[in-house]
Structure 1
Amino acid sequence: MDFITGGLAAGGASIFSNPFDVVKTRMQLQGELVARGTHQVHYRNVAHAGWVIFKNEGFRGLQKGLSTAILMHMIRNSTRLGIYQTLYKNGHLTNEKGKTIFHRSACASAFSGAAGAFLGSPFFLVKTQLQSQSAETISVGTQHGHKGALAAFNKIYSNEGFFGLWRGVNAVMLRAVVGSSAQLTSFAMCKDLLAENDFLNSIPLLNSFVSSIISGVFQCLLMNPFDLVSVRLYNQAVDKHGKGLLYDGLLHAFVKIYRSEGVMAFYKGVGANYMRLAPHGALCLVFWDVLKDMQAKYWDNKL
């Protein structure tokens, strides 16, 4: 049941966060492997990017890849939150006073995040390629021309085989290790700290919301470079053998991006990423807490 609640929480949250994910993806692909100041800028900032996408592609443009995003988040987070909650309930992550043990929580969230990222990798791949598709006048990155999620899966499988669906999985697993450990550990420790405040302790939902907003800052700052590289690896075109035309792999991508665009390139779209992560993380973790409470009350009544 812990796995189901984690998946439902993330799936519900992704409906609200997906427009920011689209904006983030476009901004991260803008100026790919071109020196700063020498490329056309379609998306100046989060608000401008949202307006440009809406003006050229309508509301549906801001929700591109939504169905795939929902499935991806449900698969990844049912695994991630399910494993983490199972370890937490069995007392492996807290001390005798019930307080979170930092290194145990970090290791548990990193492992659970990597496991979820591996299972959800094909959906991340298709989601990224669908979100990058845009009107010709504002296009950035490789345009794959998929007619929908099922067509994208079929095209990738037909051209690259089964393992082509897991192209770039090492990058997204590293992204998840960093992001998940930063988010879940900071969330748990913030909740412990804020619980010492009588007002916040009396309103558990508010405690969860504030803690998730704070944890989103740590998650975003640490994860953005790995997120950008994951997006670039997933969106690049490949040859007939499935080899990337721009990047050979994770390390090559980091080096090539740094040499072409400079260190600040790794923080492209960081504002959009936080605006995606903060509400998504907040809603996901708050929904997760609510569903856990409902689950606990249900089983208490059954007993």
Structure 2
Amino acid sequence: MDSSQGSTLQSNVTRFTDGSSPSTEAKYIDNVPVYVKELIAGGAAGAFAKTAVAPLERIKILLQTRNQGFHSLGICQSLKKLLKYEGVAGFYKGNGASVLRIVPYAALHFMTYERYRLWILDNYSGLGTGPVVDLLAGSAAGGTAVLFTYPLDLARTKLAYQTSDTRGTVLQGTRQINAFPAYSGIRNVIERVYIEGGVCSLYRGIGPTLFGILPYAGLKFYIYEELKRHVPEEHQTSILLLLSCGALAGLFGQTLTYPLDVVRRQMQIEHLLPSSQGGVRYRNTLDGLVSIVSTQGWRQLFAGLSINYIKIVPSVAIGFTAYDTMKTWLGIPPRQKSKAISTS
């Protein structure tokens, strides 16, 4: 590199770092449509939050589905057992499918929430601009995101359910805790499920998922936005306050809809259950709720809820906070109170 090239490079670096001249990157971001920025912000927030709580998510699924060797253990003992037989990697088993699902899910969830909210404000002004709009927009957004990403959630559950001893330790005369045919990855799960039952099998458990996500997503946005309205304007960007609002929103919403999540998980892994539990197929969500209460006890409807409380606090809080922070970083205009903003 000659001296003139070095001088030019140094000049460009200086201009980029000290902000003395307009940045090409900043200009590019400014020209990106608002809805695309919302997709980016939502996807990034979802991936960050999901990875942060992956170990607790894995344990929750094992408890919800009554996995052999884990259903009678507590949180700490389950984490220790998983670490012993699968190592640190076991904490993140199925997380690839989880992140692959959560990026489009969160992106669609946040973006469609913003779009639905503006549409409601512009077409149904009689509803006002308060929490009812957030409740309706959040519910519709949650349902939309679920319909587009459900097969990935199914794959995540099946991958997380299968447990094996990867440390080579013999457990009860076998290297596997569960002797089910192992799935090798996301694509393998989707292919095998499709071959076994067609497209419908990829949406096994979608009923309780929608019944659960519609009120949960709506309540989550409703509570979060309502709590934020009571935060003084000078503290609206406080990370701690945003985390607190998000945590409370997630805790309250999840408590009311958790039994539906348990039914969904059990419907997703029915054919993987041991023969002693096999042959039990829930016809629908209500049948699943009744069957679980009568055969497993009402407490099973809340199996893993304690973990969910621990998980929801950071997950939803981080998700909302990261989304609001990304919106600021990407230059997304403040949320409108009445008229829709241009998406270009």
Instruction: Give CA deviations for 1:4-39 in whole Å, capped at 9, x if unaligned.
Output: 3212210221111221110100111127xxxxxxx9
| Structure 1 residue aligned with 2:52 | 16
> 1:41–1:90: structure 2 CA closer, same or farther, 3 Å change rule?
closer
Structure 2 Cα separation of the partners of residues 16 and 48 of structure 1:
20
Post-superposition offset of 1:47: 1.9
| Structure 1 residue aligned with 2:268 | 234
| Structure 2 residue aligned with 1:34 | none
Structure 1 Cα separation of the partners of residues 319 and 196 of structure 2:
35
Structure 2 Cα separation of the partners of residues 3 and 223 of structure 1:
26
| CA RMSD across the alignment | 3.0
Percent identity between the aligned chains?
19
Residue 223 of structure 2 aligns to a residue whose secondary structure is helix
Structure 2 Cα separation of the partners of residues 77 and 266 of structure 1:
26
5+ residue gaps, structure 1, are 32-38, 239-243
Query: What pairs up with 1:80-91 in 2 under 5 angstroms?
Result: 80-88=109-117
Post-superposition offset of 1:141: 8.5
Structure 1 residues 206-215 or 162-171, which shifts more? Answer: 162-171
- Decide which structure has the larger Cα Rg and report it: 2
Structure 1 Cα separation of the partners of residues 283 and 119 of structure 2:
42
Q: 2:156 aligns with which of 123, 127, 133?
A: 127
Structure 2 Cα separation of the partners of residues 152 and 86 of structure 1:
33
Post-superposition offset of 1:77: 1.5
Query: What pairs up with 1:178-217 in 2 under 5 angstroms?
Result: 178-195=215-232, 200-201=235-236, 203-217=237-251
Instruction: Give CA deviations for 1:189-243 in whole Å, capped at 9, x if unaligned.
Output: 11112336x6x44x432221110111121122112111111111111118xxxxx
1:259 aligns with 2:294: yes
Structure 1 Cα separation of the partners of residues 136 and 177 of structure 2:
37
| Structure 1 residue aligned with 2:43 | 7
Structure 2 Cα separation of the partners of residues 90 and 164 of structure 1:
34
> 1:83–1:151: structure 2 CA closer, same or farther, 3 Å change rule?
same
Amino acid at match of 1:231: R
Structure 1 residues 253-262 or 124-133, which shifts more? Answer: 253-262
Post-superposition offset of 1:135: 2.7
Structure 1 Cα separation of the partners of residues 206 and 198 of structure 2:
15
> 1:226–1:126: structure 2 CA closer, same or farther, 3 Å change rule?
same
Post-superposition offset of 1:249: 2.5
Q: 2:62 aligns with which of 5, 9, 26?
A: 26
TM-score (norm: length of structure 2): 0.74
Structure 2 Cα separation of the partners of residues 144 and 245 of structure 1:
19
Post-superposition offset of 1:89: 5.4
| Structure 2 residue aligned with 1:35 | none
Amino acid at match of 2:95: L
> 1:258–1:298: structure 2 CA closer, same or farther, 3 Å change rule?
closer
TM-score (norm: length of structure 1): 0.83
> 1:193–1:180: structure 2 CA closer, same or farther, 3 Å change rule?
same
Amino acid at match of 2:40: I
5+ residue gaps, structure 2, are 1-35, 166-170, 273-278, 335-343
| Structure 1 residue aligned with 2:143 | 114
| Structure 2 residue aligned with 1:290 | 325
8 A contact 2:117–2:137 mirrored in 1: no
Post-superposition offset of 1:105: 1.4
Query: What pairs up with 1:36-185 in 2 under 5 angstroms?
Result: 43-88=72-117, 92=121, 101-135=130-164, 143=180, 145-185=182-222
Structure 2 Cα separation of the partners of residues 246 and 117 of structure 1:
22
| Structure 1 residue aligned with 2:27 | none
Amino acid at match of 2:253: Q
Structure 2 Cα separation of the partners of residues 297 and 226 of structure 1:
35
| Structure 1 residue aligned with 2:30 | none
Amino acid at match of 2:214: V
Structure 1 Cα separation of the partners of residues 310 and 40 of structure 2:
26
Instruction: Give CA deviations for 1:119-142 in whole Å, capped at 9, x if unaligned.
Output: 111011010010011137598899
| Structure 2 residue aligned with 1:219 | 253
Residue 53 of structure 2 aligns to a residue whose secondary structure is helix
Structure 1 residues 69-78 or 79-88, which shifts more? Answer: 79-88
Residue 75 of structure 1 aligns to a residue whose secondary structure is helix
> 1:184–1:141: structure 2 CA closer, same or farther, 3 Å change rule?
farther
Amino acid at match of 2:203: W
Structure 2 Cα separation of the partners of residues 253 and 226 of structure 1:
9
User: After the TM superposition, which segments of 4 or more aligned residues of structure 1 sit over 6 Å from their partners?
Assistant: 138-142
Structure 1 Cα separation of the partners of residues 180 and 261 of structure 2:
19
